[in-house]
Structure 1
Amino acid sequence: MGMSDKMVTVLRRQFEPTVEMLKNLIEVCPDDFWFDAKHKYWKQIFHATTSMKFWFRQQKDEEFIIPDFGKDVTEDLDKECSDYPTKEEMKNYVEEISSVARKFFDELTDDKLLEPCVLYEEITRTDVILMQIRHVQHHIGYCNNILNSNHLEAAKWL
């Protein structure tokens, strides 16, 4: 990325706090809420992170594998799970996908922002970034609502 890639800088400046807020959700969640199947709190984070893993791929044929942490878990919000990833496992997963996203940004220049993403020609790389910010923020809001409605401290806005 060159000095003139000001738009990439702006997009990164908006994306990075979104990921930090996702990480903060893991930190602030009490353990009993983490594994409560009714709230699906951890699954919101897993789902949002997996979406980033999908969209920030650099190659169309890059293998897309959703981890299950060796447990009966899925990121599919409509499917039941008999288990859950630990907070530590989820932290590591978010960290891993953060580095995938960083690589995506590192390869970008302002000139490439309006090029099609590798997955779908009708969607630009900028669309991918903005879609992920919106999607992740939606799930952050969902989790913060769970915390707030149970009189717990929500993740701070960054």
Structure 2
Amino acid sequence: MDHWNEVRAALAGQYYAGFKMLRQCIEVCPDDLWNEAPWPRSFWRIAYHALFYAHFYMQPSHNNVNLWDKQDLEAVALWEDDDENRPRKTEPYTKEELLAYVDHIIGVTEETLAKVDLGSQDSGFPWYPIPKIDHEMLSVRHLQGHVGQLSELLMMRGIDIDWVSTHPSRRLPEKPEA
């Protein structure tokens, strides 16, 4: 296996782990926490933001994006940069909708990453003038940052989630005892 295929497999494993942990956060979120928080930082919106951008940035470029069919681009912003990027009030996604989105992304991660040129010096997103491999790593960090944020909100309610290290197929076999 060439080194880019190995890197691609590792990235897919880390995306998978982040998505599985985010899925757990959504599953165990109490109903009263789902919409709680100062707008626009509600639990559901943070989860959607994390899912949207992980899915968006694992694409080859901003010109070659395959979005989810229930995408609401008005709901992705979490803060106000300027009038053009001001978060809009939208109908919240339900837990079931976001769980379906997580499952959709998990299902397309490997085939999506297979189309990405990880050796490119261009991220494919002009607002990120970095190599594509750096961009993918940034995207995984962004996803996990929001998983940590949601996990902390749950921990304040006495709810914990399990740590997922990678896709089960990426686990190395245990070393035999000498």
Q: How many residues align?
A: 149
Which residue of structure 2 lines up, in the alignment, with residue 74 of structure 1? 75
Poorly superposed stretches of 4+, deviation over 6 Å: none
Once residues 63 and 12 of structure 2 are traced to their aligned partners in structure 1, the CA distance between those partners, rounded to angstroms, is 25
Alignment of 1:92-107 (within 5 A): 92-107=100-115
Which of the pair has more CA radius of gyration? Answer: 2
Out of 103, 125, 146, the position equivalent to 1:139 is 146
Shift of 1:37: 4.6
Once residues 117 and 27 of structure 1 are traced to their aligned partners in structure 2, the CA distance between those partners, rounded to angstroms, is 33
Worse-superposed segment, 12-21 or 33-42: 33-42
Using a 3 Å threshold, how does the CA distance of structure 1 residues 17 and 125 change in structure 2: closer, same or farther? same
RMSD: 2.7
Once residues 7 and 58 of structure 1 are traced to their aligned partners in structure 2, the CA distance between those partners, rounded to angstroms, is 15
**TM-score, normalising length: structure 2:** 0.70
Note if contact 1:57-1:104 (Cα within 8 Å) is conserved in structure 2.
yes
Out of 45, 49, 54, the position equivalent to 1:43 is 45
Once residues 89 and 12 of structure 1 are traced to their aligned partners in structure 2, the CA distance between those partners, rounded to angstroms, is 23
Using a 3 Å threshold, how does the CA distance of structure 1 residues 36 and 128 change in structure 2: closer, same or farther? same
Out of 84, 87, 90, the position equivalent to 2:95 is 87
Note if contact 2:12-2:109 (Cα within 8 Å) is conserved in structure 1.
no
**Identical-residue share of aligned pairs (%):** 26
Instruction: Give 5+ residue unaligned stretches, structure 1.
Output: none
Using a 3 Å threshold, how does the CA distance of structure 1 residues 103 and 123 change in structure 2: closer, same or farther? farther
Using a 3 Å threshold, how does the CA distance of structure 1 residues 132 and 87 change in structure 2: closer, same or farther? same
Shift of 1:144: 1.0
Shift of 1:124: 2.1
Instruction: Give 5+ residue unaligned stretches, structure 2.
Output: 80-86, 165-178
